[in-house]
Structure 1
């Protein structure tokens, strides 16, 4: 099996390469090559915005399948897909649940309405609202249209993950929580400890992407299938693997909102909207998606952090509440709680 991976070597792209090599596939990667190179793959360096680089990439084909982890701008994806259509049999695009009109407010299935974005749109297309649509979501929706228009629906599989966690995560959501428990003290437990959450392990996303590369088509939501995964169990797993004596004090959504806490960033993985963690992955499950328990992802990420730190990334700088602000919010909650 000959695979072309479009994307970096940091997180999901790295996991796809690892899984493909373990399966005995021949792997080519196309990226700018500014970070570490994984052994056992053929690296073609180039910029997806440069037509000459895309034309040069095509000369290294053909491939049985493409897995694209780094499409954000529709017109760039359209140009790339048109060039690669003649040298690849299938295209697996990693999109996002942010393409849905109702995310994160409404429960979602693969049949939920999606944002409308033309396949030749640029990076500024769409609007940002909170909660509601984002330029990120509009862009990903346009990338889906771009790839499908070039390859045709029968040759395309679209993966729409929710939150991806696991070793080598560079955004830093799970690493932040682990480091927070390592520090100790009193930790804000956001909202309801019984709230079910649906993060998915990066290695399980990679494995399913390769399954799609073998011949699946259509749209698949990709979220964790662990029925025992709640916010309470997640924080308990973080405390256990770090050996932390930290105490969790649960603060209701209403107080956190009143305090102006920035959901998703100041307290990673906390979002007080009903649809955030109500995403059906039934189509992917029927197609063979399996996911490991969230506690295993927490354990393996902590083990990785013992020997490495997440690579510097602009999104990581936005994450986490300061100790001073956390204390202020807890004091205010204690003063008014029943």
Structure 2
């Protein structure tokens, strides 16, 4: 039985991860600000992760076999976590994002080496505590958070760079319902002139990947994505097969979610070599979208 701490872990794929850990017989502690209760069977610690003293006080003298950090968005948060957990865990798994590759516009799937956190500059003085700034610099915040962990000598971290996640009735992002609403009302879907495909992963699969990664011993960044990149049109066709759809090209301005003016493809060679087998988007896409809009799937997937 492992002793596992999950920072966050009370919604979307985080709560699925906690369920997998509990089902495996792990002792699970969830740390958050107290606004959400953890799943039954998990212990809860209440602290503000942005407050180092609060975090230290909540942890007391606890140590963990693994820490899985679901909600590290900035280098400031990573800097606090690196100090607090330096002697408390033998493995630290950070949930990162495909958005770290936001400037790597390549038609070929991008490997982890394209962004080496050991070579990423860190600026702790940027206004990371400002919600508007953080939202506009999401990818940069994750890049710099990875860099903080990578710069710590002997800190046993891995950063899971997660593809765009699909599936589940509890998808809180509103991205799939954006499309469902426009298909229903006939409103045009805004896309860039060149609309590129991206990599995706099912909500249950990313929970399974994080569970698997927690039990491994590799370090550094690793990409997590299902095989089979998807375009906006692929998602719309799976969401409403045969439905009339209008697209509107936007030269400047806001496009629909999952409509990308650049490629967001990740190579998963490293994860495969380490022993994880990813599914194909075609195995689950229709079912996942149906779950999110709360209607029966029109075909098995």
Aligned residue runs from structure 1 range 248-327, under 5 A: 248-250=245-247, 256-258=249-251, 260-263=252-255, 267-273=256-262, 276-287=263-274, 288-294=276-282, 296-303=284-291, 305-306=293-294
Q: Which secondary structure state, in structure 1, belongs to the residue aligned with residue 250 of structure 2?
A: helix
Q: Which secondary structure state, in structure 2, belongs to the residue aligned with residue 17 of structure 1?
A: helix
- 2:225 is matched with 223
**Over aligned residue pairs, what C-alpha RMSD do you find?**
3.0
The answer to whether the 8 A contact 1:81-1:151 is kept is no
Query: For 1:124, which of 112, 124, 127 is the aligned residue?
Result: 127
Alpha-carbon distance in structure 2 between the residues aligned to 1:151 and 1:166: 38
From the superposition, tell whether residues 186 and 51 of structure 1 become closer, same or farther in structure 2 (CA, over 3 Å).
closer
Is 1:246 the equivalent of 2:243? yes
Alpha-carbon distance in structure 2 between the residues aligned to 1:223 and 1:211: 14
Alpha-carbon distance in structure 1 between the residues aligned to 2:74 and 2:188: 38
Alpha-carbon distance in structure 1 between the residues aligned to 2:283 and 2:253: 26
Alpha-carbon distance in structure 2 between the residues aligned to 1:138 and 1:194: 23
Task: Report the more deviating stretch, 30-39 or 143-152.
Answer: 143-152
- 1:39 is matched with 40
Quote how far apart the aligned CAs of 1:289 are.
4.2
- 1:11 is matched with 12
Quote how far apart the aligned CAs of 1:102 are.
2.6
From the superposition, tell whether residues 250 and 176 of structure 1 become closer, same or farther in structure 2 (CA, over 3 Å).
closer
Quote how far apart the aligned CAs of 1:300 are.
3.7
Quote how far apart the aligned CAs of 1:88 are.
0.9
Quote how far apart the aligned CAs of 1:31 are.
0.5
The answer to whether the 8 A contact 1:192-1:231 is kept is no
Task: Report the more deviating stretch, 51-60 or 159-168.
Answer: 51-60
Task: Report the more deviating stretch, 143-152 or 216-225.
Answer: 143-152
Alpha-carbon distance in structure 2 between the residues aligned to 1:222 and 1:237: 22
Quote how far apart the aligned CAs of 1:286 are.
2.1
Which ranges of structure 2 fall in alignment gaps of 5 or more residues?
A: 129-135, 296-301
The answer to whether the 8 A contact 2:225-2:278 is kept is no
From the superposition, tell whether residues 200 and 193 of structure 1 become closer, same or farther in structure 2 (CA, over 3 Å).
farther
Alpha-carbon distance in structure 2 between the residues aligned to 1:7 and 1:289: 26
Deviations 1:184-238 (A, max 9, x none): 53654847999643211122122111212112322111222136x4433321210
Query: For 1:135, which of 134, 137, 144 is the aligned residue?
Result: 137
Is 1:170 the equivalent of 2:198? no
- 2:131 is matched with none
The answer to whether the 8 A contact 2:182-2:189 is kept is no
From the superposition, tell whether residues 188 and 218 of structure 1 become closer, same or farther in structure 2 (CA, over 3 Å).
same
Which ranges of structure 1 fall in alignment gaps of 5 or more residues?
A: 126-133, 308-338
From the superposition, tell whether residues 297 and 14 of structure 1 become closer, same or farther in structure 2 (CA, over 3 Å).
farther
- 1:208 is matched with 209
Deviations 1:52-111 (A, max 9, x none): 321123326221111111111212221222111212110011112332363356652211
The answer to whether the 8 A contact 1:98-1:136 is kept is yes
- 1:69 is matched with 70
